[in-house]
Homo-oligomer: A and B are copies of this chain.
Amino acid sequence: MEFTAKQIAELIQGTVEGNPEEPIRGVSKIEEGQPGTLSFLANPKYTHYIYTTGASAVIVNNSFVADQPVNATLIRVSDAYRAIAALLEMYEQSQPQKSGIEQPSYIHSSASVGEFAYVGAFAYIGENVIIGKNVKIYPQAYVGDNVTIGDHTTLYSGVKVYKQCRIGNNCIIHAGAVIGSDGFGFAPDESGQYKKIAQVGNVVIEDNVEIGANTTIDRATMGSTIVRKGAKLDNLIQVAHNVEIGEDCVFAAQAGIAGSTKIGNRCMFGGQVGLAGHITIADEVKLAAQSGIASSIKQQGAVYMGAPGYDVAQYNRSYVIFRKLPEIYKQLNALEKKVSQL
């Protein structure tokens, strides 16, 4: 397929600056732009590439002002990132979509699968499972007994959903993610050996949630571990039993949240953060990568860093001094010596 810059501009309500007939046959990143491709500039860190990119056309924000000559044809839009997102979405939608039931697969006779579903080979759908319409269950995925899955949801290859869990509409769960494994609950007996606490709850994932590859979400001891609508979890994240994750939260990879912790709406966590159990995090809290949060955060919109974490600006001020500690210690000792000689 080939488009002109003008045709693309029309798709995204943009205006062309340069050759409207510039032919476009693919997309590329601005720093690797090839002739015949379309690129975009949204992150200011990449601005300098626009003067050297080989891409034939570049989507830029209306606010972009060139301070050197630009070879590429520009397509100006109000939000370059959204515009490229819209184009990528159109491209993705134009790709062939999986459908039908591949064999061999295992669908229990008591299960119901909605219309237009894809069930890949070696997928397993247990007793009394209810699956909505237009759902994609990729090969080797496992859907345990009594699970329900809403409409338009995709489980990629090898996703494992334990019995009784509930997954909403329009969710995407990536390969290898595990939903509903037992919470980590043990009680020591008199001899110091640990006895398992049966985990009889489940996991509830609301609508429009995306769960990354190999992320694990444990079932509740009682009640439900909950991921609320619109939350996005990256890869290799650990969500322990009875955790609740608020709406539209965004957590980067390898974050870990210990048991029974409740997280507000629209929180953003960097990679590898850790949260203790039984704490509460207010709405819109941001945590810098690798932060360790040991107690509740009550202030909406707080930004924390460090382990144990606290206000990011304060943390950074301390860290600047930490780096100077050897010279500060010398300064102190020199001062002490001077005073002793007074």
Evaluate whether A197 and B85 lie within 8 angstroms (CB atoms) in the complex, with A184-B234, A213-B216 already known. Answer: yes
A6 within 8 A of B: no
Pairwise interchain contact B222-A192, C-beta atoms closer than 8 A:
no
List, sorted by A's number, 11 A–B pairs whose CB atoms are closer than 8 Å.
Answer: A32-B223, A43-B278, A88-B221, A88-B222, A122-B122, A174-B181, A181-B213, A194-B250, A216-B253, A234-B238, A328-B332
Report A89-122 CB contacts with B as 1/0, cut-off 8 Å: 1011000000000101010000000000000111
Report A130-173 CB contacts with B as 1/0, cut-off 8 Å: 00000000111010100000000000111010100000000010
A264 within 8 A of B: no
Pairwise interchain contact B256-A254, C-beta atoms closer than 8 A:
yes
A328 to chain B, nearest CB (A): 6
**CA distance in complex: A200, B95 (Å):** 10
Residues in B with CB closer than 8 Å to A222 are 27-29, 88
A206 within 8 A of B: no
Q: Give the interface size bracket for A toward B.
A: 35 or more
Residues in B with CB closer than 8 Å to A120 are 124
Indicate how many identical chains form the complex.
Answer: 3
**CA distance in complex: A174, B218 (Å):** 10
**CA distance in complex: A139, B121 (Å):** 13
Instruction: Determine which residue in A222, A230, A314 has the highest number of CB atoms from chain B within 10 A of its CB, and name it.
Output: A222
Residues in B with CB closer than 8 Å to A235 are 178, 181, 184, 216, 218, 238
**CA distance in complex: A199, B332 (Å):** 54
Given contacts A172-B182, A214-B214, A321-B325, 10 further A-B contacts (CB under 8 A): A102-B106, A142-B175, A184-B252, A213-B218, A214-B216, A272-B274, A290-B290, A308-B319, A328-B332, A338-B339
